[in-house]
A = this chain, B = another copy of it.
Amino acid sequence: MIDFITFCDYAGTFAFAISGIRLASAKKFDWFGAYVVGAVTAVGGGTIRDVLLDATPFWMTQASYLIVTGLALVFVAIFRKYVIRLNNTIFIFDAIGLGLFTVVGIAKSLEYGFPIWVAIIMGTITGAFGGMLRDTLINEVPLIFRKDIYASACVMGGLIYYACQQLGLTPAMTQFIAAASVFITRAVAVRYHISLPVLKGEE
């Protein structure tokens, strides 16, 4: 079980890092810049969460996240001609990461004594704000606020987490169902091109 969670954690980190590295590469960043954008994408959401919770940022106590980001850099550099063919696999890893990161963010916030509504926000920040920082760094309007169901899948997973808790499910069960619901919401939204409506402004 722990092995499975660790696998999801690394797969998600890898996919998040790759999304940052590819966009940085498209903007002609050098290797180091691409690594930084990859790392910010992979660990940025969890870092904001930990700063808000007043916890030591998770990647400062365990080197594996930055090592996985380095592997993602090497992967993109070596297999750059083939990466595009792996888009589906990368998407699945990314969605797995989104689900896991959301649940990890919620569980950690509850551990720190915050109420469920704060925890759901922290889960969403963990899952979605790395991508927001990535887009800010490469000087684009954050994609996650304009296309597909992304951050809102995290909120949905958070509400399901809460529902499972109220139904008295075990923590492991609750976390699995919540993570799976984020994954499914995201996958269904992308498959069927479901987006949230644009907010119509005054013009």
Give A residues with C-beta under 8 Å from B: 21-22, 24-34, 36-37, 47, 51-52, 54, 56-57, 60, 63, 66, 73, 76-77, 80-81, 83-84, 114, 117-118, 121, 132, 136-142, 144-147, 151-152, 155, 195-203
Contact A30 B145 (CB under 8 A): yes
Copies of this protein chain in the complex? 3
CA of A52 to CA of B199 in the docked complex: distance in angstroms? 33
Contact B118 A60 (CB under 8 A): yes
Known A37-B145, A54-B54, A137-B132; contact A31-B114, beta-carbon cutoff 8 A:
no
The one of B27, B60, B80 that contacts A202, using a Cβ cutoff of 8 Å: B80
Contact B142 A84 (CB under 8 A): no
CA of A139 to CA of B200 in the docked complex: distance in angstroms? 19
Q: How near does chain B come to A193, taking the closest CB pair, in angstroms? A: 13
Which residue of chain B has its CB nearest to the CB of A50?
Answer: B52
Besides the known contacts A30-B196, A73-B199, A77-B199, 6 further A-B residue pairs in the complex with CB atoms under 8 A apart? A25-B202, A28-B146, A30-B146, A33-B196, A33-B199, A66-B121
CA of A76 to CA of B198 in the docked complex: distance in angstroms? 13
Q: How near does chain B come to A26, taking the closest CB pair, in angstroms? A: 5
Q: How near does chain B come to A17, taking the closest CB pair, in angstroms? A: 13
Report chain B residues within 8 Å CB of A199.
21, 24-25, 29-31, 33-34, 73, 76-77
